[in-house]
Each structure stands twice: as structure tokens, then as C-alpha cells.
Chains A and B, each alone.
Chain A
Amino acid sequence: RKIIFEKQWFYLDNAIGHIYGTTFEVTSGGNLQPKQEVEETTTEAKEAGTDNRNIVDDGKSQKLTHDDIKALKDKGIKGQEIVQQLIENSTTFRDKTEFAQDKYIKKKKKKYEAIITIVKPSTRILSTMYYAREPGKINHLRYDTLAQMLTLGNIHAGNKMIVMETCAGLVLGAVMERMGGYGSIIQMYPGGGPVRAATSCFGFPKAFFDNLHEFPLSQVQNLLCGTLRAEAEESALLQEESNGLSEEKQQETEEEPAAEAPMEISPAEEQDAVDIAAGDVECKENKEKENKDNVREKQIKQWERRKKLKEAAALLREKNADGLIVASKFHPTPLLLSLLEFVAPSRPFVVYCQYKEPLLECYTKLRERGGVINLKLSESWLRNYQVLPDRSHPKLTMSGGGGYLLSGITVLLERGSADCSNSEALKVEEPSSKRCKLQDLPC
């Protein structure tokens, strides 16, 4: 399979069988495997200037022309040699300081010596990559912020986590990596299904997915309100050998005609086929069988989906999750006020938001709701350094763009208010008497 990366294209076939971290050089089309350590092209000419007082930018220091360089490239000459040629044909190179020479070589190497290192996927690699390449898809969640989330959320093996994310499945993948297949995760998703493009990049073993559940966000309200009706509902549904929530049933009936539609079309087509090539009954039968199989497969899939949904609903209904992680494009306040209902007391929760203001509001609303302590609004700054002998300095500051976190710990709500909170926490306005009562909380 052909892959394009940084204006280069190559096939991966040659890379199989090598250990992770192996470096490859790209040739025309395939992969070549050079040594791990490229022997330093020690420019014997250790001549160097001390300053640039005599260096004039006349645009003529490089004696090789554009076309010469292109010719060298077309001949398929090793990048290393091209760099050497460039150095030899640079009139100013010898006058440059040692540091400037170093820099010059590095720059040219980057351009002409195309080397690729193949590494094992991990949260470190993928989150850095996503932040650099497609920050929009992960709501500008910087990798150090993601690291904070995993720690603040006390993510570890054996947890029962609730994750609500619209970060292409990157946050989910990070949580899965830290849980190592132990415990369970319930992913809440908006729309038709969870997005797991980034999750699949991790290459998790199948077993990790056994305890990964999903539950549609649009059913959360039903689940919270329906707790009283749940038993009756369930038994009624069981009689119809159906399951899950009543809403789910409606969805099913909506989906049914859609599933049938293609079946109606294809027999019509077959009719034509039969007219032309009569006697081809066998073929028709086969096709019909295929269709039936398809419908059946669909039904089985649907049935499995509903079964998983029911499992997820049951897990949520226990209201004893070990933590909540939210990182989405949606306003965090309603998500938190609802989803915290499913979390056990004395458990951490972390909400990510690209902007500070929604979290300010969320903070206020959580205080009004109660049942949380140690609320903290934070942001992390990350600074990278260049460390070289006599040339150490910060590389770049990344700030603002990494997003904000609101974290805290759940506690037991007061007996009285705990009962009403199921129904009332969802109404954003709390009774003022309760608010007064909560004001003297020590948090």
C-alpha cells in the first residue's frame, strides 16, 4: 500500500520485521534500511570564522544553481552527498562560525536526507501528533493538558470510567491505555455513534474492547428520569423479546423501513435479470439468500447493539462510576450536571474546555448543585528547550492554546437533597433555600 508522508511516498513492506525505533531512508518508492547511527559527516575542514562582520548577503554564495541541484536529485544521488556538494560550493561556509556551520548542515540535512523512524503508537506519540497536525479535531487539547487529565482523573487499571469526548477518540484511547484492559469504560456519544478514529491508531488488542461500552447522550435524560419506571419498562420490553429503553424501540422502528428498502429494490432488478436470462433461477435464489443473510446480519448487529446499550445502561444505573472525563466541543455545564449523577462519591472528575469562560460558569453551577469539593480551574504551560553546549535556551512557549481544566472530587449529597437532586439537578435553577444551605459548605 502506498503511503504519502511529508511530500514523500513509499511502501511499508520493507519495514516489516524490524524493531520499533528503526530508522529508514526513502528511495524511489520503497524503503531502504540504513544504519541506526549515521556516521557523522565530520567536515574535516574545521576552519571556521569567529563572527559575521565580513559576510555579505549577495545571493551569490552558493555556486551551484537551482538546476544543478535538481540534476543531482534526479540522478538519485544520496542526500548525504548532495549536502556535501552544497557545503563545498558555498563560498561563505568557511567564514561562518562553527555554530552557524552546524546550523547550516542541519538545515540542509533536513531537506535532502529524507529519513523516517517508525515508532510504536502511544498516547505520547498520538497526542503530540494530533496537536501538531489536526488540533481542530481534538478541540486544541494539548498533550500536557491530556496528561494532566489522566492524572487528575486517577485513571488506572480496574476503574469504571465514564468518558464523554469529541476528540476523535484520542482521549478514550489515552484512558484505555492507562487502564490496560482492566475495568470498564462507558463512552457517552452524541449523534449516531462514537467516533474512534484516533482510538484505532493505538492498535489495542481485541480484549481491550470487551469492556468498552457506549451509550447515546440523547438517552441520558431518559435514564435519569426513568429510574423509577425502569423496572416496569424493562419487564414490558422483555415480554416483547426486546430490550433497552422505549426510545430505543422507536429508533428501531424507524430503522426498519430503511433496512427493508434495499431488499425491495434488488428483487425488482432481479426480475429484469430473470427476463433476460431465463432459467438462471439458481442465481436468483442465491441472491435472495444473500439478501436474507444481509437482513439477518443487520438484525443481529442491531440486536447486539441494543444488548450492549442495555449493558451500558445497567452499568450507568448503578451510579457508582469511579470517575468522569469530559473533553468535548459542547458546553460543559449541562454535561457535567447530568453525568455526575452516575459517579460514586469520593471520586475525581475532570472537564476540559478550550475556553475558560464556560468553565467559570460550570464552576458556579457545580457549587450551587453541591456534592463536589476541591474544585480547581487550571491551565498548564509547556516550554521546550534547546540544550546544546553553549547554546541552551527555551525553544518556544506554548500557552493559551492548550485549553483549560476544571477538576474536583465528588462527595455524598445530603440525604434530603440527594433524593430530589435526581430530578432537580437537571433543572438548572435550584431552589433558593437549598442554595442558602449550601453556601456554608466549607469548600
Chain B
Amino acid sequence: MSFVEYGDTIKDGDTAIVFLGHESMFPVKVQHGTVTQTKYGVIRHSTDLIGKKYGSKVTCSKGGWVFILHPTPELWTMNLPHRTQILYSTDISIITMMLELKPGSIVCESGTGSGSLSHALIRTVAPTGHLYTVEFHQQRAEKAREEFREHGVEHLVTVTNQDVCKNGFGVSNIADAVFLDIPSPWEAIGHAKSALKAEGGRICSFSPCIEQVQRTCLAMEEYGFTEINTLEILLRVYNVRTISLQIPDLGKTAEDNSSSGFDSSNPSHQGSPCANLQQGTVQFKSGVPLREVVGHTGYLTFATKS
């Protein structure tokens, strides 16, 4: 296993994702002789995990079972230990595309935080690219280094413990893209510009507040960035449900109802429309939004150095 390369079987030292169902899962470090407790019982790593194929169903001691999944940056994002607020896959995906990242890209990032975005960036730029990530909090920087080592991607990333606003990224004229997720990104725009390649590159700044965006945009303009563009992306997730709605009794007979053409085109309904009508309900499949309100994560400001 590695976060940048698929493997078939689970090996000692791997990070695997234990999938319990209903979006409930957690990461586990596979080690000989270790056991993991789940609500379905105990998983013994030596016998239950090592040597098995990723995607296998593993039966736990209480007879319950779980699936063991190959780690990906997206699964990691959903399961990582939070040390800070993190970026989720929806924002990460648009950042990756808008920064035009691909294998071989050199990226600068600050701050590293919990490493949610870092893993996705590393995945995309591997095997020939590199990530330079700057974190001013010493403990977080250490923890990130440790994780990258555990996940077999340390050769693709350099973690620097310094203040990006004061000291920059520690590199100059080598980056294809820069990403900023710090409280005062406008103070780092100058450093971002010098980190980018002479022939140009892309920059992105993530900020929750519009006032931060405002100042960042002004700073970007001042430093000669072009194509400045601010956007926000929101994800709506739908639950698939079979809904049945009652037909009101208007004193009509069943024949009248069917002639009024209730949903006759719905394939899921074709099976027994009459029976349904007699029961006085119509069934259909619907995508029901999970939550009432979609939250706000942050504004993403992109620009080009050319």
C-alpha cells in the first residue's frame, strides 16, 4: 500500500480503512500481533488482515463483519485525526483542477494543518512532482512529517517549520502552483510570487471571510497577478428514498384516478400501479437532500502569474 500506488493485498505497516457501514469508518495501522476493537467485535491483524485482499469482507469475533479498504486521499480526509479545521474533497477537487496540477507539478502549500489537502496534492503530483509545505506550528509540522513517512510518500514532500508570512516557502522560482490556507494570506502573496516559476504559475487562497478575500485580491493585483477569480463551491448530497404519497379521496372511483394518468411513466411504479392506486398511494424514487442548509466552507480565490 501507498497513498500514491494501489496494492492488492494488505501488508504489515499499511494504513487501511475499516468500513463499518453507513459512512462510519476509521483508519487502522496494520501491525502483526495487534488487535482492533470494533462494535462488531475484535479484528486480529495477523490473521484477519495481513495477506488478505483490499476490499475483502472481514468477519469479527462477534460474527459481525466489516470491509477493509485501500487508503486514498479522499478516505483519509474523511478519517484523519483533526489537528485543525480541514479542507474537504469538494474544495480540494476544484483547487486541484484550477491550479492545473498533474504528475510532475511542483506545489507550495501553507499551512499544512492536518494534511488533508497535502495528501491529495501529493497523490496528484506523484511520481515526479513535489510538495513544499510550510507549517508554523512545530508540533503540527512534526506530526505531518510522521504521517507522510507512515504513508510511504515522504520522498514527495518537504515539510518546513516556519512562518510563511515572514519567511516565505523556503524555495524560489520552482513552483507551478501555490496554495494558501492561512488567516492573513495577503501577507504571503509576495512570497508566493517569488516561489512561483519565472515563466508563471497559478495561485489559490482559501478564506472563510469576504474581508480576507478583499484584501487578498488587492494584494494579488498589486503584485501583478492576473485572471483573479473568486468562487465558492458547495456540495449537495442526496439520499435515495422510495417515497409514497397518499392520493386524496375526492370521491372519485379508482378508474377515474388511473385515467387521470398518475405517474404512469415512472418505471419503478409500473409493476403494480393498480394495487397502489387501490391502496390510495403513489410510490416513486426520490433524491432527498441530506440537510436543510448547505454550509459555507470558504471562498477560493485563484489567480495567474504570467
Complex contact B55–A177 (CB within 8 A): no
Q: Which residue of A lies closest to B66 (CB)?
A: A442
Complex contact A322–B210 (CB within 8 A): no
Q: Which residue of A lies closest to B229 (CB)?
A: A384
Instruction: Determine the chain B residues whose CB is within 8 A of the CB of A147 once the complex forms.
Output: 93-94, 96-98
Q: Quick one: which of B19, B210, B294 contacts A381, CB cutoff 8 A?
A: B294
Q: Which residue of B lies closest to A383 (CB)?
A: B232
The reply to whether the CB of B20 lies closer than 8 angstroms to some CB of chain A is: yes
A319 to B12, CA, bound (A): 26
The reply to whether the CB of A349 lies closer than 8 angstroms to some CB of chain B is: no
Distance to closest chain A CB from B17 (angstroms)? 9
The reply to whether the CB of A443 lies closer than 8 angstroms to some CB of chain B is: yes
Instruction: Determine the chain B residues whose CB is within 8 A of the CB of A360 once the complex forms.
Output: 240, 285-287
A206 to B108, CA, bound (A): 30
- Interface 1/0 per residue, A104-142 and B, CB below 8 Å: 000000000000000000111001000000000000000
Complex contact A385–B299 (CB within 8 A): yes
Instruction: Determine the chain B residues whose CB is within 8 A of the CB of A159 once the complex forms.
Output: 6
Instruction: Determine the chain A residues whose CB is within 8 A of the CB of B21 once the complex forms.
Output: 373, 441-443
A392 to B73, CA, bound (A): 34
Instruction: Determine the chain A residues whose CB is within 8 A of the CB of B8 once the complex forms.
Output: 320, 344
Instruction: Determine the chain A residues whose CB is within 8 A of the CB of B20 once the complex forms.
Output: 442
Binds B, one of A269-277, A407-415, A431-439: A407-415
The reply to whether the CB of A356 lies closer than 8 angstroms to some CB of chain B is: yes
Complex contact B285–A361 (CB within 8 A): yes
Binds B, one of A150-158, A257-265, A286-294: A150-158
The reply to whether the CB of B170 lies closer than 8 angstroms to some CB of chain A is: no
Q: How many residues of B contact A (CB 8 A)?
A: 73
Q: Quick one: which of A346, A383, A414 contacts B70, CB cutoff 8 A?
A: A346
Complex contact A151–B56 (CB within 8 A): no
Distance to closest chain B CB from A242 (angstroms)? 34
The reply to whether the CB of B114 lies closer than 8 angstroms to some CB of chain A is: no
The reply to whether the CB of B151 lies closer than 8 angstroms to some CB of chain A is: no
Instruction: Determine the chain B residues whose CB is within 8 A of the CB of A394 once the complex forms.
Output: 232
Q: Quick one: which of B98, B102, B230, B239 contacts A177, CB cutoff 8 A?
A: B102
Q: Quick one: which of B54, B94, B123, B236 contacts A154, CB cutoff 8 A?
A: B123
Q: Can you show 10 pairs from A to B with CB atoms below 8 A apart? A: A22-B306, A150-B97, A151-B96, A156-B4, A178-B103, A345-B56, A360-B240, A361-B285, A364-B240, A377-B240
Residues in A lying within 8 Å of B, measured CB to CB? 19-22, 36-37, 122-124, 127, 143-144, 146-148, 150-152, 154, 156-159, 177-182, 320, 322, 344-348, 356-357, 359-361, 363-364, 373-374, 376-387, 389, 392, 394, 404, 409-412, 414, 441-443
Residues in B lying within 8 Å of A, measured CB to CB? 4-6, 8, 19-23, 53-57, 65-70, 72-74, 89-90, 92-94, 96-98, 100, 102-104, 120, 123-124, 126-128, 199-200, 210, 213-214, 217-218, 224, 226, 228-240, 267-268, 285-287, 294, 299, 301, 304, 306
